[in-house]
Every structure is written in structure tokens, then in C-alpha cells.
């Protein structure tokens, strides 16, 4: 596997090199990071498996094919007073054993979940997919987060590449359903889900607005990339191709602000806590997004990409929830920016 050229300056933490890369080059680097797959797209054959009624919304359990031999389930939350063209938000779960149940309010963890319930009560249709090795998609003979079987089947792909593929196939299925014709589509994710959401939006132009809550630190500021590339597949192995860079993060060929550049000129809000775990992450993102806003990659921005920083540790606060929901309401409301 050939190594890609270094992105950052010799000083390690430079942002200026981003402006010298074209969108095609950044997209190529992202595809390199995600790896290669031989999987081909198939008809989703979507089904409604069951439906549960709550006071002001309905929760459907749906199923669809993500690969020709792999049917998966997801949750779809719909307001009971569903307005024509209501915007859809893809709600991506964090590192939680219960997977999709957490955003859907079924895991009892308000501090890091339940946001799909909040959003459906604000009028959004919420699609809540479940990633492999979480929730109901845990291999029966393995622990959750174990990606061993996946890498045995797909040695040149990545777990994150598979995660994004599956979300896109689910989005294909939901957008083909009767009555689901959204004006606009957003994505919101917390922690692990924020990483998935950033890369999904970078690759999929159907996403109009992205809210990344407590997501990834920029790779080049990390002391060690081992949590991203791990040699033990029994733990979630995001990006195997980062292994040669694990001791020299400043040389990574792709960093998450490239995803932000690919999302532009669509809307982006990065929300990050300022706590002991990552005290400077919000600051690093702020500097990176400011640099991008002044670059040729900005184009005709719908709104400047922003950072909302808040006190506390790795979870939601009332302030961060409010900021994320207001952002999505403003950017996805019918009749908003063309």
C-alpha cells in the first residue's frame, strides 16, 4: 500500500496546505482513507417491520438491504402531524452498545442520546440507522465493537467506510418511501456518530446541513493515532491505513477539516465541549474553519461554518442541544437558502 504525500507543513500544525489541494484531491484522499470495497449497490427492498405510537410521533422499525445478502434494520421517527416536505435528519449514534436505541430514546441515556426524539418533536422526520457491531447488529458469537469478521471479509476496506456505505443505502431506501419527500436533508451525530456524519456529508451531496456534536479532534494534533487504526480488530478499527502514521500524526494525508472543506458551501456546525478530555479541540476546529472560510474552498457559503464550544465533559448539555437544534431548524426549514 503506497503512502500518500504529507498534507501538513513541516512544522506539523499548519493549515495553509489545505488551500493548495483541489476538491478532487481531497476527495481522493478521503477515499484512500476509507479503503477499497468490492460491494455493489443493490435494490433496498424497504419494509416496515413494526410501528409504535407515542404521544406526538410514530416510530417505525424498517428494514432494507445494504448488500445483496445483508438486510439490516433501522428506526424511522415521524411526527404525527407530518407536514408535506418536512425535512429529514439522519441521526447517528455514538459508541453505545445499544446502537440506534440511544438517539431514539430507548436506551435511557439522556446525557448522550435521545436527540432524535427531540428533533421529531420539532417537526423533523428522523432516520436512525444502526452501525454493524452495535445493537442488533452485533455478531452473535462476538462482543460489541468487534470488527474481526468484517476485516476477514473486506481486508482492504475500513469499518468507517462500511458504516458510511450502510447509512447511504439506508438513506436511499428512506427517500424512496411513500410520503417521505423532504425539502432538505441534515445529519446529526454525537461522538462516534459525529465522525460518521462529517465523512458522510463530505461524500454525499444530499446532505444540506451537518451538526457534529463532540466529534473528532483534528488528527494532526493527536499524540498517537492508535485509537483510529488499532492492530487489534476485536476493538473498533476505524482506519487501518493510518497505521504507518500512528507515531507521526502531523504527516497524515487526510484530516477532518478536509471533510469540512468538502462539505462547503453547505452548512456545518461543530459543537465541542471544553473539558479535561480534549481541552483545546474546539479551539483547533475554530482556527481550521476560519482558515477554510477565507479559502477558495468556501465558495458561495450558505452560512459560515461555525464552532459552538461549551463547558463540561463528553456529553450533551442544555446549551449544546439548543445550539444544534436551532442550527438544524434554521438551515433545513422550508424556503431557507437555495
Contact in structure between 256 and 218 (CB atoms under 8 Å):
yes
- Percent of the chain past pLDDT 70, that is, above it, reads 92
Helix (H, G, I), strand (E, B) or coil at 332: helix
Phi, psi dihedrals of residue 36, rounded to the nearest 5°: -115, 140
Is residue 176 in a domain? Answer: yes
Residue scoring higher pLDDT (293 or 267): 267
Is residue 1 in a domain? Answer: no
Give the CATH number for residue 205: 3.40.50.1820
Residue 325's domain spans which residues? Answer: 16-106+123-329
pLDDT, tens digit, for every residue of 243-258?
999 999 999 999 999 9
Split at pLDDT 50, 70, 90, the class of 109 is: confident
pLDDT score recorded for residue 300: 72
Split at pLDDT 50, 70, 90, the class of 296 is: low
> To 5 degrees, how large is the angle CA 200–CA 36–CA 247?
80
pLDDT, tens digit, for every residue of 38-70?
899 999 999 999 999 999 999 999 999 999 999
Helices within 35-127 (DSSP H only):
115-120
Is residue 242 in a domain? Answer: yes
Is residue 6 in a domain? Answer: no
This prediction has a pTM of 0.92
Is residue 245 in a domain? Answer: yes
Report helix, strand and coil shares of the chain as percent, to nearest 5. 35, 20, 45
pLDDT score recorded for residue 277: 78
Contact in structure between 97 and 104 (CB atoms under 8 Å):
no
Cis check for the bond before 265: say yes or no (omega within 30 of 0): yes
Beta strands in the chain (DSSP E): 47-53, 57-67, 70-79, 88-92, 125-128, 185-190, 209-213, 267-274, 306-311
Number of domains in the chain: 1
pLDDT score recorded for residue 305: 92
Is residue 285 in a domain? Answer: yes
Is residue 190 in a domain? Answer: yes
Is residue 11 in a domain? Answer: no
The closest alpha carbon to 261, from 60, 26, 99, 49, belongs to 26
Helices within 159-280 (DSSP H only):
159-175, 192-203, 226-229, 256-263
Contact in structure between 89 and 188 (CB atoms under 8 Å):
yes
Amino acid at each position: 500500500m503506497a503512502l500518500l504525500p504529507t498534507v501538513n507543513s513541516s512544522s506539523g500544525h499548519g493549515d495553509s496546505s489545505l488551500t493548495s489541494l483541489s476538491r478532487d484531491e481531497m476527495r481522493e484522499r478521503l477515499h484512500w482513507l476509507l479503503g477499497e470495497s468490492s460491494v455493489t449497490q443493490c435494490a433496498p427492498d424497504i419494509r416496515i417491520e413494526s410501528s409504535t405510537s407515542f404521544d406526538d410521533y410514530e416510530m417505525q422499525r424498517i428494514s432494507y438491504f445494504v448488500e445483496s445478502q445483508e438486510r439490516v434494520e433501522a428506526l424511522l421517527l415521524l411526527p404525527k402531524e407530518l407536514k408535506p416536505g418536512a425535512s429529514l435528519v439522519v441521526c447517528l449514534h455514538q459508541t453505545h452498545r445499544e446502537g440506534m436505541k440511544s438517539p431514539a430514546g430507548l436506551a435511557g441515556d439522556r446525557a448522550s442520546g435521545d436527540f432524535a426524539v427531540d428533533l421529531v418533536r420539532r417537526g423533523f422526520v428522523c432516520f436512525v440507522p444502526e452501525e454493524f457491531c452495535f445493537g442488533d447488529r452485533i455478531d452473535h458469537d462476538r462482543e460489541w465493537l468487534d470488527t474481526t469478521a468484517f476485516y476477514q471479509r473486506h481486508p482492504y476496506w475500513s469499518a468507517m467506510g462500511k458504516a458510511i456505505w450502510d447509512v447511504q443505502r439506508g438513506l436511499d431506501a428512506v427517500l424512496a418511501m411513500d410520503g417521505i419527500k423532504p425539502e432538505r436533508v441534515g445529519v446529526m451525530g454525537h461522538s462516534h456518530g459525529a465522525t460518521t456524519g462529517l465523512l458522510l456529508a463530505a461524500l454525499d451531496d444530499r446532505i444540506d446541513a451537518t451538526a457534529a456534536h463532540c466529534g473528532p479532534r483534528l488528527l494532526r494534533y493527536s499524540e498517537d493515532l492508535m485509537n483510529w487504526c488499532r492492530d487489534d480488530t476485536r476493538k473498533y478499527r476505524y482506519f487501518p491505513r493510518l497505521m504507518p502514521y500512528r507515531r507521526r500524526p502531523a504527516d497524515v494525508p487526510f484530516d477532518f477539516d478536509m471533510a469540512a472543506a468538502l462539505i462547503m458551501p453547505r452548512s456545518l456546525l461543530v459543537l465541542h465541549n471544553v473539558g479535561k478530555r480534549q481541552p483545546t479541540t474546539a479551539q483547533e476546529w475554530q482556527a481550521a474553519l476560519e482558515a477554510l472560510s477565507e479559502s477558495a474552498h468556501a465558495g458561495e457559503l450558505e452560512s459560515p461554518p461555525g464552532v459552538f464550544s461549551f463547558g463540561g465533559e463528553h456529553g450533551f448539555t442544555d446549551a449544546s442541544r439548543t445550539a444544534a437544534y436551532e442550527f438544524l431548524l434554521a438551515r433545513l426549514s422550508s424556503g431557507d437558502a437555495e
